């Protein structure tokens, strides 16, 4: 029952952040959305911050799983793998309102919370490492490092601009296509 309850609370945290923002999300708002007692949050996560950390880890895990699901096909070429990395960052889950609002809150809070800063560092390094692996197959070492940094910035920048736009769904679709076009243009 513990994993089921934990996932309910993580989902409720995503929803609470979407409705109220991170600062106004409380143990009470989360427990009401989850339909569980507020004491269970302390029992499983030690409090709100522990649950926020677990929620961010959930977002990161979903990102990792989306990529693994796409690249587990054998014989993917470097360009195909790069396109899969882009797609993993723009999945319907990562574009959902609860996920986008939680990501935005997480990034802002990571400047003040060492644990969240560590998770952001891991996330950035993972994206860069995945991109660099594929670019190394296509470019010399210096160009590969530069391309990986540019592509990571483009993915994050386009994702952020899309999340903050008036019509995020359209913007997310266009952002994914522009990132893929950048890869194709760079390889040419």
DSSP summary character for residue 25: -
pLDDT in tens, 25-84: 999 999 999 999 999 999 999 999 999 999 999 999 999 999 999 988 778 999 999 999
Q: Is residue 122 part of a domain?
A: yes
Q: Is residue 112 part of a domain?
A: yes
The parent domain of residue 182 ranges over: 52-187
Contact 48, 29 (CB under 8 A): no
CATH of the domain at 80: 1.10.357.10
Q: Is residue 179 part of a domain?
A: yes
Q: Is residue 29 part of a domain?
A: no
Calpha distance 52→62 (Å, rounded): 15
* Total residues found in the chain within this entry: 188
pTM across the whole model: 0.90
Q: Is residue 70 part of a domain?
A: yes
Structural domains in the chain (count): 1
Please provide residue 35's backbone torsions phi and psi, each rounded to the nearest 5 degrees: 70, 30
Q: Is residue 87 part of a domain?
A: yes
Q: Is residue 30 part of a domain?
A: no
pLDDT in tens, 171-188: 999 999 999 999 999 988
Q: Is residue 21 part of a domain?
A: no
Structure tokens at 143: 């160009």
Average pLDDT rounded to a whole number, residues 72-101 = 93
């Amino acid at each position: 029952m513990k994993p089921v309850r934990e996932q309910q609370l993580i989902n409720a945290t995503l929803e609470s952040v979407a409705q109220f923002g991170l600062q106004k999300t409380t143990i009470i708002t989360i427990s009401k959305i989850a339909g569980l007692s507020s004491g269970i949050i302390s029992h499983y996560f030690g409090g709100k911050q522990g649950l926020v950390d677990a929620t961010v880890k959930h977002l990161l895990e979903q990102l990792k799983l989306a990529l693994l699901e796409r690249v587990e096909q054998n014989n993917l070429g470097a360009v195909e793998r790069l396109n899969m990395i882009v797609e993993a960052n723009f999945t319907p889950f990562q574009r959902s309102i609860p996920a986008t609002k939680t990501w935005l809150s997480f990034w802002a809070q990571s400047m003040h919370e060492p644990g969240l800063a560590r998770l952001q560092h891991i996330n950035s390094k993972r994206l860069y490492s995945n991109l660099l692996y594929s670019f190394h197959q296509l470019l010399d070492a210096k160009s590969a490092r530069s391309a990986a940094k540019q592509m990571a910035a483009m993915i994050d920048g386009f994702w952020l601009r899309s999340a903050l736009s008036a019509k995020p769904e359209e913007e997310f679709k266009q952002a994914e296509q522009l990132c893929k076009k950048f890869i194709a243009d760079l390889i040419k």
